[in-house]
Chain A
Amino acid sequence: MRNLFYLVRKDFKRKWKNPVVILGFLFIPIVFTVIFGMVFGSGGEGTLPQVKIFAADNDQSLISGLLLGALTQGELNELIELEAIEEDEGRKLLDRGKASALLIIPENFGQNIWDGQSTEILLIKNPAEQFLPQIAEEILDTMTLVLSSLRHLFADELDTVRELADLEEFPDEAISALSLQFKDRIDGASKYLFPPVISLKQITLSEEKKDVEDLSVQAHILPAMAVMFLLFICNAVFEDILSEKESGTLMRLRISPVNLTEYIWSKIVISTLIGILCTSLLIILGRVLFSIHWGDPAAVALLVLCLNILIAGFIAFLFSFVRTERQAGALLTTVILLMSMLGGSMIPVENYPPVILIFSKLTLNYWGITAFKKIMRGESLATILPILSVMVVAGVMLSIMGSYFLNKNLKKGISQ
């Protein structure tokens, strides 16, 4: 046990003095998060990205004009780029990913509202995009609520507006001004609940309906990247075994009273510790740079611990199959990349078909990312406890197996 402590402390000092590799692996997820954050949206509470929406107005009434006008008023104007389009054309272009969503206003939309009948707006979302259609949907959700409320609240005022409708043509400015006015008034009124007259029907082109997305772009990317690069960091720590074999220090350790099991466990312990440090650093950086809300600190801390135990065990296990640095490079890199790909570190698993999702669930990445998101979404510690327990149990078991096989492997290798 004392030897284990000396070994771990020694490795810690070495890494502390020569942290380039580890810092490099820490730097990449941060850079990725910055880049993706810029592409898909920026820091949590800051400005939102512009969403491009095609609008097919099959109604061409005052009300539909108002609705679309309201969508580009004030702050919304910075958020939404609205392009009027024919429905067929819009559907085609959406298929080619030319916009985040297509908004279709049905014929007689305006008439139905005047008549107090319920009606429906159709929002078709671009399945290739994760975040932007969400924004369109949220805005429209509010808009429909607003319009519905409007119908109930301002029944009288609406009649005056109706006069405008009788005009041959609506002056654009008049509509803009009006809709702005409406919007302002409705902002105040929207807290009242009224049964909706207009319902927003939303369709994502793939059949699957997404659940409400409440996390920022960065909150998606950083944990996903973090898990993948933690694997690489752990791998870098374990590669020490091979360089120690090469340099003769492992042989010298074998001559000393240290036994191989102590040595292997020192590597498992040090990589767990370094993993915990790196994850903590990424979490702090995520909070400071990207305003990521990680959720309950106790749950996060527990997850960081369990996840790193699992990662260390997993890498130890993989390492028991390799003898040379080349083998390690080939096997470990392939496994880590494949697992990261399947497990959602590179592409969010929400985009995978169910068949692939089965495999995703076999990866360490999937469970790590899922647990992070669950905590972010405020789920209680109890709900992620099963995941955490599996992580620890699997981590410890893999460590034990890894230690056993590595022991055999190194005993053979050392005599060369």
Chain B
Amino acid sequence: MLHIDHLSKTFDTIKAVDDISFEVAEGEIFGFLGPNGAGKTTTISMIAGLLKPDSGKIRIGSLDLDGDLKKIKRLMGVVPQEMAFYEELTAKENLLFWGKLQGVRKKKLEERVQYYLEKTGLLGRENEALKKYSGGMKRRINLIIGLIHEPKLLLLDEPTAGIDIQTKLNIYEIIKEASSKGTTILYTTHNLQEAEELCHRIAILDLGKILAMGTLNELVQIVGEKDIVIVSGKFSIDQARTIISSFQQATVLSIEEGKIVFSLEASKNISTVLEEFFKKGITIDDVSIKQPNLESVFLKLTGKELRE
């Protein structure tokens, strides 16, 4: 459904998106996982036709973004990272307005507004101005606006940023339902659990490049049976590198003053590694071991921990 082919975009000197390619099948939820500044929003903006790519091709179904933007707009729904609606207007007025712009017929539109308001638990408050809504309620409206015309392709830019778990679950439910009805979804997040729970396939993005792509299982294969160990304490970069390099089964993933991340074949060996630190008189503040999961994959690929 969505075909991205060698897409690149540079702002001044920053390569925001650097030669990425991927495909998303119909009805699939494709996770775009990356830290701040990875290029997620830039990619979505290009697919939505807001930004012109420097190079590369975007196709949606059989339509080419360059030539058929008008047709594509009707097929596409976008949920931006910001709350993009009119705060002075009520939830219902907003939904009706955005639905009409998308060309949904009045009767059908009213049915859908009713349906989604009920689904998100906002029924009964639909005639309140959105500025009176809580952050979580606004997020739900922000999502529904993108869905109101039942798009074939839905682009979601961090739709669950800054909300409680209940609202998140509600939003997941709505997204899963849309996907089960055949909507293709590109889901942008920097939350690992979210990607694990929701997405059929995931691309890990950092500094504008896709580092790995696949199902959760496929991605976990990347780290293999190895555990990821994070040690922090009072040591210099050189000290830590020398210690870890002396072990055959360990590979350094990232290193900075006072903190080192490395993979280790069998975590029971950790005590021997730590002993080396103690022998050198280094104080260790914290040690954590990650079993193979998306987080350890992410750590291995980017050397970064991903935290909200």
Contact = CB atoms under 8 A, between A and B. Distances in A.
B80 A248 contact: yes
Contact of A17 (B45, B52, B89): B89
Given A248-B80, A257-B74, A18 B97 contact: no
Contact of A10 (B84, B97, B103): B97
A251 B80 contact: yes
A247 B83 CA distance: 7
B153 to A, nearest CB: 12
Interface in A115-153: none
A249 B78 contact: no
A18 B88 contact: yes
A6 B84 CA distance: 17
Contact of A255 (B70, B78, B100): B78
Contacts of A6: 97, 100-101
A258 to B, nearest CB: 6
B82 interface: yes
A255 B84 CA distance: 12
A47 interface: no
A255 B50 contact: yes
Contacts of A414: 50
- Secondary structure of the B side of the interface? loop
B129 interface: yes
Most buried by B among A17, A249, A414: A249
Contacts of B98: 252, 256
A249 B80 CA distance: 9
A255 to B, nearest CB: 5
Contacts of B102: 256-257
Interface residues of B, number: 29
Nearest to A262: B101
Contact of A252 (B78, B87, B88, B129): B78
Interface in A1-39: 3, 6, 10, 13-14, 17-18
A13 B80 contact: no
Contact of A3 (B49, B101, B129, B145): B101
B80 A252 contact: yes
Chain A contact-residue range equals: 20 to 34
A251 B50 contact: yes
B48 interface: yes
A10 to B, nearest CB: 5
Interface in A252-297: 252-258
Contacts of B129: 17
Contacts of A247: 82-84, 87
A252 B50 contact: no
A415 interface: yes
Contact of B84 (A13, A18, A248, A257): A248
B194 interface: no
A315 to B, nearest CB: 21
Interface string B51-88: 11000000000000000001001101010101111111
B126 interface: no
Given A17-B129, A248-B80, A415-B45, A256 B101 contact: yes
Contact of B88 (A3, A17, A257): A17
Given A6-B100, A257-B70, A14 B86 contact: yes
B196 interface: no
Contacts of B80: 248, 251-252
A255 B49 contact: yes
Given A17-B129, A247-B84, A255 B73 contact: yes
Interface of B: 45, 48-52, 70, 73-74, 76, 78, 80, 82-89, 93, 97-98, 100-103, 129, 145
**Nearest 10 A-B pairs (CB), nearest first?**
A248-B84, A248-B82, A252-B84, A255-B78, A14-B88, A256-B101, A18-B88, A415-B51, A17-B88, A257-B73
Interface of A: 3, 6, 10, 13-14, 17-18, 247-249, 251-258, 414-415
22 contacts: A6-B97, A10-B89, A14-B86, A17-B88, A17-B89, A247-B82, A247-B83, A248-B83, A252-B80, A252-B85, A252-B98, A254-B49, A254-B50, A255-B76, A255-B78, A256-B73, A256-B98, A256-B102, A257-B70, A257-B102, A414-B50, A415-B52
